[in-house]
Structure 1
Amino acid sequence: MSLLQRLKIRIRKVEERDKDYWVDMSIRRLRQGKVRYYRVKDELTGNWLFKVCRDDEMERVIVKALKCPPGGGFVQLEGRTMLFQKGLIEGYYYDVISLSYMDEEERLRRNVLDNIDDVPEIIKENFKVMKYEEVTGKKIVGKRLVVLCEENNEKDMILLFLIQRAWPISRIPLEIGMRASDLLELIRELEKAKIDEIYEAAENKFKLERENIDMLLELLEREGTIQRSEDYIKTKN
């Protein structure tokens, strides 16, 4: 089973353009190259639309979030990008690891990591993490860390965007969010059930607490996959 399957993330390419244009804000220049669009359904955060711009001349790829799920944190990710570029490791592009967080005024911020202990386990277990100097041959202030991604694996680049930019600001923990499809299937099996029946079944089958069940129900309702009718909850046809 692939990493995307285990995480219950579906990434589907919906359009490809052999030649298109974009503005690379890191160098403030208009660039051209191959562009692909991907629709993403993430169990934890919701539905996304990404634009991936491949600059073969400069050996870099830009992943840009065009459409994000609802929510004060996610909406601030619209238009945000993640840059992958060529380093010294053949066949791989690198990204400087940084994690999103919300400040006291609910503004989106990023924290660049320099300690391997702060890197999410899912990155350390599935990708290669190295020091910036090892990958680029250049020295910078601070001990920044980078993650390597196969240079042609755009789906993994999108996944790394989700892990670093979206998941840290999700209200639902990863291990709980991955149960959303299981809960949806349970509701489908029950056909039409009262909330207490769903609580009891989910607690027995998935060992979920009611607080977590409520978070998942809210997520499914926001996605439009379930609906409440009086005292009942059922899936939408």
Structure 2
Amino acid sequence: MDISKIKIIMFDTFGTVMDWHGAIVETGICLGNKYGFSIDWHSFANSWRVEGYTNAVDEIVKGLRPVEKIDVLNKRKLLELIERYGITFISPEDIEQLNLIWHRLTPWCDSLPGLLQLSKKYMLGPFSNGDFRLLLDMEKYWNLPWDFIISGQMFNKFKPDPTIYMDAVNLLGGKSQEILMVSAHPADLDGAANAGISTAYIPRPFEFGKYSGGYVEPQNKIKTKPNLIVSDFVCLANILGTC
């Protein structure tokens, strides 16, 4: 990778920039305190993510089900989990607010400092399966230094559909060598590499929570070796010469 050619950095969002697990658990505990109940919110969060999002998106990419908005997928699984965990007594308003937690997920502690550092030199933005409005709300809520937003909703596709990466390249001007894709997810990095985009792998050992045993999607799942492997966003910024 010729670092001097990089002008644009795209970021996977769920799990890479934002800590979805921690945000759901914190919100769930507050909801439990309000109504006086306690459940395993760590298990709840992981089931919501894997069953409601990861598995659903995988089926959509394989053509096994139609494309739907992420908010719709999340809400459908949330209602199933509410039944499964026996918390059907919470109000419709609180259910809606719980679903909207995906619009205001908590950044990892290195995300904002690293992004602000990178923004001094590069154009930055999310390349995410999240709905455009979800990503817009997240940007506003946390004052993220985005120069652009790319949502799979724009193309009616989801990552890691192999064609969506070239869609993103074309939207940004059609020069793969000027773009770096940052992600904690191997399939995402492989999709970008196949489109000629440079890649940076950032493991997130607590993506599935502090009780997950530090699980990260292993590097040996990445078919194309990443151009960079970094521990956090500040490290990435230093490597790319923005210190």
Q: TM-score, normalised by structure 2?
A: 0.23
Q: TM-score, normalised by structure 1?
A: 0.23
Q: Of the two, which has the highest radius of gyration?
A: 1
Relative contact order: is structure 1 or structure 2 higher (C-alpha 8 Å, sep ≥ 6)? Answer: 2
